[in-house]
Chains A and B, each alone.
Chain A
């Protein structure tokens, strides 16, 4: 082969310049990603370094003694598990069902548009406002008293908008052609949803739920007025009992107890994060298993 066009595929100065610009941008994006994970690593590192020493069998599974200064955090740990579980049991089904209605059944009219607007606004309401709403509605009006039920209901109201939005988005990511194919084979709307739409949007819905687990476990304000207490010597027996909670316990040990050793609040924070990470890992593993089965 003789070279008739020696410069045909040679890099020009502009090509080289563009390439160096694009390398610089890649570096920038990479650095930003690094910056993003730095605080996560720092927080985890600090917690492990300062609170790791507090973690023991006794710390996890016994009640606090000496005004929270010694002993363990078991009532708070159990209380958080109660609160998160009850809140998710309430908000996830309602949220998913409402999202299915809004995405699959409701027509696009002014009424659904107002509902959608309300949901988005609800997601932006500060948690302290939810707390006051929960106090007024569930504690006083419905006479649940300060209880796990009232606190979980408050948390549920707070998390539901996010569940709805996440669910609706993953439902709408399922190609319309799949639905049409189903309808044309004589499937009802519900059969279509049950057999095609839901299986293909489950991973996205789970992502929304996972996010809400962390948020529910970490919120302090909404439960402070509605069901969580600084200290109770009793473990909750039913949803009508008061309970301790990790997030509130962290607030108390970090700010309200004089002369407490530093490793106690750090230990509480570490347990809280560990709990959330464990719940998330389980759901992420479940999601990966589901995604592995998905073929498109």
Chain B
């Protein structure tokens, strides 16, 4: 990133939902991230692109600390979410996971009813600290499903098993079930790769609906999707951030030759 770009990103008085500093990450002896300094602006949709193995998913999974379960992961540097270091020993992991929701590549609704899927996290957190949606369970279900544009399709079958839904509906449900606990950040790891073009379009439409209320960080292999559905874009290569800028600028006038090559499909 050059200085002008950085300066452009910094205006006007940006708030960063996610800020990593000198983040290095190893899987065993393999280093997956090198000195990653990323500032993800609050309320925007930021996409991460780059060839497989470039570290974009690894970065994503570090933001809600789900990588740690693997055991052989070592991390140096820091990640701040809403100005707080999530790797601070004082931090409660459960709260990190609550504040930073994650959507996976394959929709993974729990094998319970649609309604119970939505209320699952709310029931876990309703009586504890932190913000959660207010209202009766029915209101919360309706509100969450409306936000993901799913309400009209499923309102008559809320008691049915969530696994009976189509993949597109399942993925929307997986997004909806994060909302009742009012997360600050939504992480999405290729959320559309299991969906057909129509499903992809529907999920992208929903991302625009959620824009502004949540900071969304989305990993994608689909260049067109990054271009359509994000406001800022991060290009990573071999564990390093090569370029980070406004999507429209990056796709029209990329600064680095590697970015240009990747975007135009010369490798990947």
- A interface residues (Cβ-Cβ under 8 A, vs B): 1-5, 7-15, 18-19
**Interface size of B in residues (CB-CB distance below 8 Å):** 22
Q: Which of B83, B86, B92 contacts A5 (CB 8 A)?
A: B83
Contact B95 A18 (CB under 8 A): no
Residue on B nearest A11 in the bound complex, by CB: B92
**A232 → chain B closest CB, angstroms:** 58
How far does the Cβ of B206 sit from chain A's closest Cβ, in whole Å? 26
The answer on a CB contact under 8 Å between A15 and B92 is yes
Q: Is the CB of A15 within 8 A of B82?
A: no
Count: A-B pairs, CB below 8 Å: 60
> How far, in whole Å, are A4 and B17 apart by their CA atoms in the complex?
11
Residues of A within 8 A of B84 (CB): 1, 3, 5, 8-9
Contact B129 A3 (CB under 8 A): no
Residues on the A chain within 8 Å of B128, using CB: 12-15, 18
Among A2, A4, A12, A19, which residue has its beta carbon within 8 angstroms of that of B129? A12
Are A10 and B92 in contact, CB atoms less than 8 angstroms apart? Answer: yes
Chain B interfacial positions (CB closer than 8 Å to A): 19, 80-86, 88, 90-92, 94-96, 99, 125, 127-130, 184
Q: Are B83 and A15 in contact (CB under 8 A)?
A: no
A8 to B92 alpha-carbon distance, docked (Å): 9
Task: Report yes or no: A14 in contact with B82, Cβ–Cβ below 8 A.
Answer: no
Given A1-B80, A15-B92, also A9-B127 (CB < 8 A): no
Task: For A1, give the chain B residue with the smallest CB separation.
Answer: B83
Distance between B38 CB and nearest chain A CB, rounded to angstroms: 15
Q: What are the residues of chain A within 8 A of B91 when measuring CB–CB?
A: 9-10
Residues of A close to B19: CB separation below 8 A: 1
Contact in complex: A10, B83 (CB < 8 Å)? no
Say whether, besides A1-B80, A4-B82, A8-B84, A14 and B127 are in contact (CB < 8 Å): yes
Main secondary structure of the interface of A (DSSP, over half): loop
Which residues of B have CB within 8 Å of A18?
94, 128
> Nearest Cβ distance between residue A6 and chain B, in whole angstroms?
8
Name, among A3, A7, A12, the residue most crowded by chain B CB atoms within 10 Å (CB to CB). A12
Which B residues lie within 8 Å of A4 (CB)? 82-83
Chain A contacts of B96 at CB under 8 A?
9
- Say whether A10 contacts B94, CB under 8 Å: no
Contact check, B86 vs A9: say whether CB atoms are below 8 A apart. Answer: yes
CB-based contact B82/A10 at 8 Å: no
* B80 and A15 contact, CB distance less than 8 A: no
Kindly report which residue of chain B lies nearest to residue A6, judged by CB atoms: B84
Contact, CB under 8 Å: A15 / B95: yes
Cα distance A86–B83 in the bound complex, in angstroms: 72
Known: A1-B83, A18-B128. 11 other contacts (CB 8 A): A3-B83, A3-B84, A4-B83, A8-B82, A8-B84, A8-B99, A8-B130, A11-B129, A12-B92, A12-B130, A13-B129
CB–CB A8/B80 < 8 A: no
B95 near A8 (CB under 8 angstroms)? yes
Chain B: minimal CB distance from A73 (Å): 48
Q: Sample 15 A-B pairs with CB under 8 A, ordered by A number.
A: A3-B83, A3-B84, A5-B82, A8-B81, A8-B82, A8-B130, A8-B184, A9-B84, A9-B92, A9-B96, A11-B94, A11-B95, A12-B95, A14-B125, A15-B128
Residues of B within 8 A of A5 (CB): 82-84
Shortest distance between the CB of A230 and any CB in chain B (Å) = 56
A1 to B19, CA, bound (A): 10
Name the distance in Å between A16's Cβ and chain B's nearest Cβ: 8
| Alpha-carbon gap, A19 to B94, bound state (A) | 10
Alpha-carbon distance A227/B80, docked complex (angstroms): 75
Q: Is A7 within 8 A of B83, CB to CB?
A: no
